[in-house]
Structures are given as C-alpha cells and as structure tokens.
C-alpha cells in the first residue's frame, strides 16, 4: 500500500505543485520520492512508500536498465509475479512484485499487461520511447486512483482526490477530479510539450469473466467441474483458501480485522491455518472494536479463542467515535451515510493497530456481502435472477462504498489492506454458479458460503451460522445501535429549519435527514463542489427503507426478537 501521484504538462512550478503530493503522505510513511521526467521538465512523479516487499530496491518510480524508457508508479500487490516470471522467462532486477508490469508491457502491450495481473493495483506507466502514458486500475478498485485532465492537456493522477484538488494551472482547473473506473485502462498520447491527449479508455475485465491469468495461478485447474452441490462446495473451499494463500506475500507482519461475523471470521481462520502451514512463526494478531459487551466483541472473542489468535480488543466510547467524524469524512472523501457510520470503527481500530502493534499487512472480509448476497434485503429479492443482477451491481460499485471505506480507513494509518473475498478467480467462479444456488435459504443469507465450510471445523457452529450484522451496528449494543447514537448527537447539531432548505443548498443528492445533512456539511467544507464523487447514496433495495441500517428492516427485527 503506497501513495502515487503524477503530473504531465504542468504550467506551474513543480516545487509548488508537489505540496499537493504531501496530502497523501499517510499512505506511505516509510519514504518519499519526487522525481522529474528526463526531457519533460513539466512532468513528474511523486511516491509515498509503505515498504512491504523488497525494502532495499522498492522505491518508485520503478526504472530498470533493460527498459530505460519506461517509468512506473504503482500502488498494489501482484500475487502472480513469480508465476509470470516462470511462464515468460522474465529477468527481474528487483524483488518488487510490480516490476512484472514493465516486462509484461514490453512483451505484449498494455491490454495483456492489465489482463494478466492477478492482484490489486492502480498504476501510471510512462513510455517515453513511444510517447504514451497509461493508467490502469484493478477489477474492483481495491486500490484507489483519481485523475484530472484539463482541455489543454494537463493531467494529474493521484491515489486520493485530496492530492489533486488544489493543483495550480494557468487556465482555471476544471473541477472534474474524478475516480478512475475499476477494471479499465486508459491510453494517452504524450506530446513534446509534456501535455497529453486521451486516446481510449478500455474495460479489460468484468467481474463475471474468468480472468486471463488463471493459466498462471497456483491452482491451475479445479479438480472437478459441474454444479452438483458437493463439487461446488469443494471448489469454493479450494478457491477461497487459494485466495488467502497468495495474499501471504509480505515482508512485514500480518494481522487480521475480526468482527466476529462470518466473513472476517472465515478469513481469520483460514489465514491462521495457512500461516502455520507456511511456517510463519509469529502469532496472528486479530483486532476487534466495539462498545462494552457489543455483539461484535463477544463473537470475535469466541472466534479468537477457537482459532488461537493473539486477540486485541479496542473499546469504543461514544465521545471518541463522535469526535472522529470529521477526520473520517476527510479521509474517506465521501458523504455517504452508511459508509461514514461503518468507517468510524474501522478508522479507530486501524489507529490502534498502527500505534500499539507491529502488524502492517491487514486482512479483512470486504466483498463477501456483495458477492455472496449477504445483505438482509436479499431475502426480499423478487427472483434468483434479480438477486444475481443486484450482486453484480454491488460488486461494480464497491469502489464507491465498502472498498473505499476499507482502503481509506486503513491507509490513513499507514496500513495495507488485503481482501481475499475479492480474488478475481474466486469471484468469477462464484458468479458463474446458477442463480438459484446463491440466494438466501431457510431465512439465512450467504447460505451456500456457510454450507461450504460446515464440515471444516474452522469456526464454531454459532459463528458460522451467525446472522448478518452491519459493522456499524455490531460494534454497539443490541438495545441501541451505533446509528441511533450518532443520530441522537447530530439531532442537537442541525436545526429543523436548516434541514427543510437542504435541497436548495445541496440540489445534487439532497440530504433527507439531519444525519446526512451533518455529514454533507463537513464534506463540503473540505471538498466544496465535489458532490458528484458520490453518484447516489447506498440504500437497500426491494424494501421501503428510509435508512441504510439493517437494524431498521423487518427481517432483522423479527430475527432478534425470536
């Protein structure tokens, strides 16, 4: 996990512009480099490094003797770099996994490069010989990337939007700082002036498609095909374990977030098992946050005892959570209600990890709810086919919500996130299964995933079949949800008359509640006029919901009252 930043065709002094690069210093606390591009005095790269692999030669932009005309700045982890080296006979000059991008590009161009990378990534690749600039981002946008391109060809690229919004330019900088779309690459021509022109934006991978890099995976072919239940369960276990195994790649200590829900518990249990098999000889640290005796803390305690991790509990108090709201919104760059609620706990537990432990590479359970239909409202899906469509929509929008939350809250404290549920191979297989297999059954969401691990003894039965809790709800007591605590505080901060005129002040995505108005005010304070970064609020479907919390839905209420 690092922070990348680059400018092409800057009219202003680069020593002034590079102040913007310092806005993302939290993403790479170990080192910083600012480098001009030879022969293009108005082009430069900025890089903040978190050293996870090759601590000696891992600085960027990466340049190697074999390709002196290539410059690479990337943020991510490429899990199949050794397999690609073996398959194509690449001669690496560093131990950095991202070096494979240079070799793949030289061998087959940008399309093959982006398609063959098994991992999470956002990168800027400059080819001065052919005067091209390439941008690319992984399928689910696990690693963030933003860009701004003016009409006269000035390009700014950064891991977070905050590194671009204050750039200086001779013409007024258009406000179109926008997220770069996941699963895409862009080709731009580099002119002798250092300015650029966009040539094409190409979608190189869709979440349903089996990725091209399957041929270079550690599990080349599944032992059996077909959709009978035992085969499917076995394949799910094989591919999920493979997803966790490949993410063990690290020279820094590995830890795991553990809410006590199904997703983080499965990740933690499989992770600890594989760490032992790979002779990683330090104990796995797991981390839970919540108020005293909250459902998450109690469940996480059970899981940690069962798997034998070194467990840490962070007790959340109301005042601390409320005080963190503004810095959380600044980190997130969004005003989405449920994203902010869930981020507060994750931000504070990440802060604890950074200050109190030496764990840096942090595993988490993001992506499972979208992939395996884990949200409570999936019980109300009109048909298996519509549920499958909704699952795909949620996966495509992850970069706006859960993946954004998980990246920013951990990156704010210099941690690197790993999310095995969003493994390309695992997700494409799960989405290829018949829609009927994937829906909730017997009143239980994620039924197929739970069933697949039922006989594994990885988790206690009551955890494996624990009903869904939103992270922002599970950290509080059952009697009073975290969202209710927030609303009670905010109710005193926002006047009724102000809320009545909210649509006039904020015509795009107008706030409908005091809570959403309060978040929007803070967002606009830091990012005025950038409301389009959030195309719409996250809300459940097929139900008459006015709040995104699962605890407001009838299904949750009836389940907890039984």
Distance (Å, rounded) from C-alpha 226 to C-alpha 214? Answer: 18
How crowded is the C-beta side of 471, counted as CA atoms within 13 Å? Answer: 26
Confirm or deny that 364 is annotated as ligand binding. Answer: yes
What's the gap between Cα 189 and its chain centre? 29
Longest Cα separation, the chain: 71
Confirm or deny that 263 is annotated as ligand binding. Answer: no
Which H helix or E strand runs over 34?
Answer: strand 31-37
Strands 132-137, 359-363: pairing is unpaired
2 is catalytic: yes
Q: What is the phi/psi pair of residue 238, to 5°? A: -60, -50
- Tell me if the bond preceding 289 is cis, omega within 30° of 0: no
Burial-class residue 65 by CB neighbours within 10 Å (0-12, 13-18, 19+).
Answer: exposed
Q: Which of 7, 26, 333 is nearest to 153 (CA)?
A: 7
Confirm or deny that 289 is annotated as ligand binding. Answer: yes
Q: Which of 159, 155, 134, 133 is nearest to 145 (CA)?
A: 159
Which H helix or E strand runs over 451?
Answer: helix 447-452
- Catalytic, out of 2, 43, 73, 207: 2
Distance (Å, rounded) from C-alpha 562 to C-alpha 560? Answer: 6
Task: Give the residue carrying structure tokens 């939290």.
Answer: 26
Burial 242-271 (b: 16+ CB within 10 A, else e): bbbbbbbbeebbbbbbbbbbbbbbbbbbbb
Which H helix or E strand runs over 464?
Answer: helix 461-464
Q: Which residues contact 114 (CB under 8 A, 6 or more apart)?
A: 136, 185, 204, 205
Q: Which residues contact 229 (CB under 8 A, 6 or more apart)?
A: 437, 451
Report the 3 state secondary structure along 304-365: HHHHCCEEEEEECCHHHHHHCHHHHHHHHCCCCHHHHHHHHHHHHHHHHHHHHCCEEEEECC
Task: Give the residue carrying structure tokens 């305690």.
Answer: 301
Burial 272-294 (b: 16+ CB within 10 A, else e): bbbbeeeebeeebbbbbbbbeeb
Distance (Å, rounded) from C-alpha 163 to C-alpha 334? Answer: 15
Q: Which of 95, 1, 93 is nearest to 53 (CA)?
A: 95
Contact 494, 523 (CB under 8 A): no
Distance (Å, rounded) from C-alpha 440 to C-alpha 553? Answer: 16
Q: Which of 251, 244, 245 is nearest to 52 (CA)?
A: 251
Annotated binding residues: 97, 257, 289, 364-365
Annotated binding residues for ATP: 257, 289, 364-365
Annotated binding residues for L-glutamine: 97
- Catalytic positions, written as ranges: 2
């Amino acid at each position: 996990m690092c922070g990348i930043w680059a400018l092409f065709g800057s009219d202003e002094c680069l020593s002034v512009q590079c102040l913007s690069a310092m806005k993302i210093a939290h993403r790479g606390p170990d080192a910083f480099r600012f480098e001009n591009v030879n022969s293009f005095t108005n082009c430069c790269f900025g890089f903040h490094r978190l050293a996870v692999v090759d601590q000696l030669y891992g600085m960027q932009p990466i340049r190697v003797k074999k390709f002196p005309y290539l410059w690479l700045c990337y943020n991510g982890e490429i899990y199949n770099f050794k397999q690609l080296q073996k398959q194509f006979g690449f001669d690496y000059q560093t131990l950095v996994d991202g070096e494979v991008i240079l070799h793949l590009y030289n061998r087959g161009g940008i399309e093959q490069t982006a398609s063959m990378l098994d991992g999470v990534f956002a990168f800027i690749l400059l080819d001065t010989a052919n005067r091209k600039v390439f941008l690319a981002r992984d399928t689910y946008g696990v690693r963030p990337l933003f860009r701004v391109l003016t009409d006269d060809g000035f390009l700014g690229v950064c891991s977070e939007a905050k590194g671009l919004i204050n750039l200086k330019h001779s013409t007024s900088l258009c406000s179109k700082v926008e997220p770069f779309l996941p699963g895409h690459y862009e080709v731009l021509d580099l002119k002798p002036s250092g300015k650029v022109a966009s040539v094409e934006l190409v979608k190189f991978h869709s979440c349903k498609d089996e990725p091209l890099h399957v041929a270079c995976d550690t599990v080349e072919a599944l032992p059996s095909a077909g959709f009978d239940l035992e085969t499917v369960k076995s394949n799910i276990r094989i591919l999920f374990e493979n997803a966790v195994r490949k993410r063990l790649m690290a020279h820094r200590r590995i830890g795991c977030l553990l809410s006590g829900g199904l997703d983080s518990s499965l990740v933690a249990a499989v992770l600890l098992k594989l760490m032992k098999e790979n002779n990683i000889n330090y104990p796995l640290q797991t981390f839970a946050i919540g108020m005293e005796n909250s459902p998450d803390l109690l469940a996480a305690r059970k899981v940690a005892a069962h798997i034998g991790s070194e467990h840490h509990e962070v007790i959340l108090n109301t005042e601390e959570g409320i005080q963190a709201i503004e810095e959380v919104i600044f980190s997130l760059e969004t005003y989405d209600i449920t994203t902010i609620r869930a981020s507060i706990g994750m931000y504070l537990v990440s802060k604890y990890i950074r200050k109190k432990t030496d764990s840096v590479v942090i595993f988490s359970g993001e992506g499972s709810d979208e992939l395996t239909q884990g949200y409570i409202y999936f019980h109300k899906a009109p048909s298996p086919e519509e549920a499958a469509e909704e699952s795909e929509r949620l996966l495509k929008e992850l970069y706006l919500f859960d993946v954004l939350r998980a990246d920013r809250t951990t990156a704010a404290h210099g941690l690197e996130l790993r999310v095995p549920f969003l493994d390309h191979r695992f997700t494409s297989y799960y989405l290829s299964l018949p829609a009927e297999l994937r829906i909730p059954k017997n009143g239980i969401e994620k039924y197929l995933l739970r069933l697949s691990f039922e006989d594994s003894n990885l988790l206690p039965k009551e955890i494996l079949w624990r009903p869904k809790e939103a992270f922002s709800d599970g950290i509080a007591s059952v009697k009073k949800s975290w969202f209710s605590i927030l609303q009670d505080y905010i109710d005193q901060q926002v006047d009724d008359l102000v809320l009545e005129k909210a649509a006039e002040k904020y015509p795009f995505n107008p706030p409908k509640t005091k809570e959403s108005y309060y978040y929007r005010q803070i967002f606009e304070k830091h990012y005025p006029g950038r409301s389009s970064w959030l195309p719409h609020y996250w809300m459940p479907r097929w139900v008459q919901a006015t709040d995104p919390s699962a605890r407001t839905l009838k299904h949750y209420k009836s389940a907890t009252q039984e």
